[in-house]
Amino acid sequence: MKLLLVVALTLVSASSCANVEITKGLSVEENPIVAQKAQESGIVFMSNADQYQLIAGGRAAKSSGLISGMTASQSQVQGKLLWEGTNDEFVLSISDHSASQQGTHALSSSSSYNQIAYNPRTGGIGVVTGQIIVSYTDSFDASLIAASFGIQLIDDFAHLNTAFYAVNAGQDIFIITNSLNQSGIVSSAEVEVIENFAIPN
């Protein structure tokens, strides 16, 4: 189940939610906007053995500070706010800023925000970190993989045969991940999603 799946789902017309008011306060499970915008993106992928749907117009921002590299203006939600929630210190939001405007390639290293994804199994929303987790074999080291796919090596844990990559501007993280999986030179590759955060005790 580590293969990345990119599945084109039936797209829901953007106009169908044009008049939806902010539904802050409803849980994720209760909220039709979350599932609707998850379907709207048309992107389904596997991460940490769970299936996620990218949420169109969704983004995450740290409530106690901006995500590294993000400016205040960049953290502001674009478009009409449809839903707000939280996951740990992240403020999650969904706006009607359409998928076509946002693009599915937004998760490059130059992105100024984190996207979010819906987990139909748990009903939860995870934060897409923008990194690709690659488990590699002894035949190809982490740097060679980066060079082969034109992506950035963020961190390499050679003792675990695990490396982390980010895509460059103009690259689509899902397509790159799919290509890595199909290449035969890595054991697995997946877009990282964090759904359960550690909190102080």
Q: Could you say which of 7, 76, 89, 183 contacts other proteins (CB under 8 A)?
A: 89
**Least distance in Å: CB of 180 to other proteins?**
16
Q: With beta carbons less than 8 A apart as the criterion, state whether 191 and 18 touch.
A: no
Structure tokens at 150: 């034109």
- Single out the residue of 187, 65, 199, 46 nearest to residue 128, CA to CA: 46
Judged by CB under 8 A, does residue 71 bind other proteins? no
Selected range binding other proteins among 4-12, 16-24, 73-81, 124-132, rule: CB under 8 A: 124-132
Structure tokens at 42: 């048309």
**Least distance in Å: CB of 64 to other proteins?**
6
Which residues between 16 and 55 bind other proteins (CB under 8 A)? 48-50
Judged by CB under 8 A, does residue 199 bind other proteins? yes
Q: What 3-state class would DSSP assign to 15?
A: helix
- DSSP-derived secondary structure letter, 17: G
Judged by CB under 8 A, does residue 133 bind other proteins? yes
- Single out the residue of 183, 133, 186, 141 nearest to residue 159, CA to CA: 141
**DSSP string over 112-155:** SSBEEEEETTTTEEEEEEEEEEEEE-TTS-HHHHHHHHT-EEEE
Please tell me the total number of residues recorded for the chain in this structure: 201
Judged by CB under 8 A, does residue 129 bind other proteins? yes
Q: Could you say which of 24, 30, 103, 197 contacts other proteins (CB under 8 A)?
A: 197
Nearer to other proteins, 56 or 67 (CB): 67
Interface contacts to other proteins, rule CB under 8 A:
48-50, 62, 64-65, 67-68, 88-89, 114, 119, 121-122, 124, 127, 129, 131, 133, 135, 154-155, 157, 159-160, 162, 164, 192, 194-201
